[in-house]
Structure 1
Amino acid sequence: MTMPQTPSRSYLLRHLWEALRRGRQTVDFPAGEPDIASTYQGRLTVAIERCRGCGLCVRVCPAAALELTRLDGGGLRMAVHHQRCAVCGLCELACPADAIWRLATFAGASDDLAQLTDTFERPGGRTNGDQGPAPDLSL
């Protein structure tokens, strides 16, 4: 049945009645956590103590989901914005120190952006391994 240009009252009432009689056509979103396949890789995590501060992960991320900041005293802070993450894994592949990887968990929905951002911090006073001076992180 096609809808006329300007629907008449009888047309609208007939379709409204059919929709009410048919009942709900959707299902409730699961109240608990859904089953996750063992091969699923989603939420990012960072072993900040392994991070060299090279910024490769930040540069390759197409969604700008990573933020690397040099702290006073030589420390590092990595922020992972899960609301932006495309779960592509490019950051994981780019990291020469294997300091970033995906977990078999997901970032749940939230209206609070702070809950969707994980921050990993390493205080200063640590050398950058055998990598020489820490690189400039400005992009």
Structure 2
Amino acid sequence: MSSKADAYQDVRKQIAAVIAGETSRTARLATASCLLREMFGERFFWTGFYEVDPAKPTELVVGPYQGTMGCLRIPFGRGVCGAAAATGETQLVEDVHAFPGHIACDSRSNSEIVVPVRDAAGALVAVLDIDSTEFGAFDEVDQAGLEAICGELLTID
């Protein structure tokens, strides 16, 4: 049985292979969301992206995702996704109910990891949001794996 780190390496390679040459950001994000959910199954209860809205650059708007209904909009600085957007740093939260200003898009979510996604110029364009029904579902291995994927998602050809 392979390790979780190996699983991230595998899915990273799969994503890179599928999106190679793809110019559509939507297609790239949708592919990553799908393959991550397929790789990690039910542990990834909600897997998707919130994109920075060009018309409202201090708000995130729901993008491609796998899972139950997501929040449509999230202001920068609000909830886990908004915190990641405002700080530009990954948010690893063991218990979302203890997170100040948590937004309960689905009350079944208990832990969350949110990773910033930047374009080739380094501008924040989205965040990858993954929720789990388990408490403490994510750790530093998840963070490293997801940051590697998000670091390449919009920059590789």
TM-score by length of 1: 0.26
Give the helix-richer structure, 1 or 2.
Answer: 2
Give the strand-richer structure, 1 or 2.
Answer: 2
TM-score by length of 2: 0.24
**Which structure has the higher relative contact order (CA within 8 Å, separation 6+)?**
1
Which structure is larger by alpha-carbon Rg, 1 or 2? 1
